[in-house]
Structure 1
Amino acid sequence: MCTVLLRLDPAADWPLLLAAVRDELTDRPWEPPGEYWPQEAPGLVGGRDRLAGGTWLAVRGGPRPGVAAVLNGSFMNRLEQAPPGSPPSSTRPSRGRLPLQALTAGVPDAAELRAYEVVHLLVADADGARLVSWDGHDVTDVEIPPGDHIITNEGLDVAEDPLVPHFAPLLGRAGRPAVADDIPGEPIPHAATAEWWGDWVDLVRGDGLAEDDPRALLVRHDLPDGRVFGSTSATLLALGREPGQVRMDFTGTPSDPDWKRVEI
């Protein structure tokens, strides 16, 4: 699974705060955030999946900061997908292209999404957020209201996912990031990750849950074929209203994080 912890607060200095954990096969090659798509999506920054060439989370700076991220649909939906006439999994386009398209050409329509495997596409900026989902049967497009939200492979704020009721109160208690007056001598946005993000850094550590706990944010599963499926990276992202007002921090080792600031 993958998880996005999201806060939308229109009145805040930074109206959008996001913590995202990517879960994937640990031997699947990837690269840390950069500008990898100068022709297809100039100016977008994101980690790159080296097999398919796309990304799980893309960020747009410039005059209209924004973010788009994909989460695979739930396992049960994948089992039930494949309606008559649908293309086989091996011929479907990579979902990693969706964040790039969403931030450049716009969110694909329902007909386009049906060509993909089941997916949730989050698109957000300082003015709001929406979650577009394809579950193998229907495409839904939901405007996410202000407040704290958790998106998993099951969808938006799905209480039946054990992670959601465990982490919802932790997210609710997470304070806002530091602003200029909070750290004397450290003007925004140049403070170190732990100083600027505060409680959000602790939140992404996973609350001490075991990696095989059904509630876990950071996971590790040993598969029968000898491969490992686990949490391979984490991102902290804040978007403001002003041009270029973006703060992004990234770690490729979320279980023992070494946070790095990403220039946008």
Structure 2
Amino acid sequence: MCTVIVHVPQAADDPVRLLAVRDEDPGRPWDPVGPWWPDTYPGVVGVRDARAGGAWLAADADSRRLAVLLNRKDIEDLPEEGLESRGGVVLEAVAGRAPGERPPTHGFNLVEVEGASVVVTTWDGGALRTARLEPGTHMIAHDDVDDEATPRIAHWLTTFADAHAKSPQGDAAAPIDWFAPWFALLEASADLPPTDDRAIIRDNRPLGYPTLSLLMCAATIGPDGVEVAYGAFDEPGHWNALTLA
């Protein structure tokens, strides 16, 4: 039930900006952004799932790649035997390797950035689909990109798109400053209770999932590489202003 907001630039030499909020079971341990895979994925940094060893979000500055994964409901029951952690899909994506036609995992939406290009790969347990995003601002959650049937997307997408115009532009702006209008919207979104279907900072337990919003990352992917900033909320499922680093 994570949320990703991404702005795809018109020009290939302008940066992609991405803001990702992670929803997960607070009892499932994780490690903050770091180089956790020096032997198997040298140069890659990311948020590591300490239990399975994969990544929720990962990036490689040298290749100007970033990938982040959102869980998606399977359209049919998949046998647990033989299934792998979805975190491996993220690491393989950053290494430039796409999922096979039938990934041995539960469903996902995989957001991949390479330079100024953003592709979303969807696996629902039945079929694999890939869509390249057009320039502009997009939102992804647990269904399709910019899906008006997802209440938080229907409620907030236009507002995030409008906020892009208020962002600092040009080389003088520090990368994290660019996100200030989006951070302000996230804070405003916290006026909604975390159990509201429109909420971005969420408590998904009433929906039958043991997940709450735990952390967020802001990333800039541009000609100079990739910059990722990270922060965790003081209390799962509740907004507080974060100093991302």
Structure 1 206/93 Cα, relative in aligned 2: closer, same or farther at 3 Å? Answer: farther
CA contact (8 A) 1:5 1:150 kept: yes
5+ residue gaps in structure 2?
none
Structure 2 vs 1, CA of residues 140 and 66 (structure 1 numbering), >3 Å: closer, same or farther?
A: same
1:248 paired residue number: 228
The reply on whether 1:92 has 2:83 as its aligned counterpart is yes
Matching of residues 1-264 of structure 1 within 5 Å: 1-11=1-11, 14-62=14-62, 64-74=63-73, 78=74, 80-82=75-77, 88-111=79-102, 113=103, 115-174=104-163, 175-181=166-172, 188-189=174-175, 193=176, 195-205=177-187, 207=189, 208-222=191-205, 229-242=211-224, 244=225, 246-253=226-233, 255-261=239-245
Report the TM-score, using the length of structure 1 for normalisation: 0.82
Task: Show CA shifts across 1:204-235 (max 9, x none).
Answer: 3352221011001001244699x952001101
Q: Contact 1:8 / 1:128 at 8 angstroms: preserved in 2?
A: yes
Would the aligned equivalents of 1:16 and 1:125 in 2 still touch at CA under 8 Å?
Answer: no
Distance of 2:144 and 2:101 partners within structure 1: 17
Task: Tell me if the contact between 2:72 and 2:142 (Cα under 8 Å) persists in the aligned partners.
Answer: yes
Give me the whole-angstrom Cα distance separating, in 2, the residues matched to 1:241 and 1:73: 31
**Cα separation, 1, equivalents of 2:211 and 2:117:** 32
Which residue pairs with 1:185 in the alignment?
none
Cα separation, 1, equivalents of 2:199 and 2:98: 30
The alignment yields a C-alpha RMSD, in angstroms, of: 2.3
Cα deviation 1:81-130 (Å, max 9, x = unaligned) = 23xxx5x225310000111101114112213x1x1111111111233111
Aligned residues: 238
Cα gap change, 1:105/1:40 in structure 2, threshold over 3 Å: closer, same or farther? Answer: farther
Query: What TM-score results when the alignment is normalised by the length of structure 2?
Result: 0.88
SS in 2 for 1:155: coil
Greater C-alpha Rg: 1
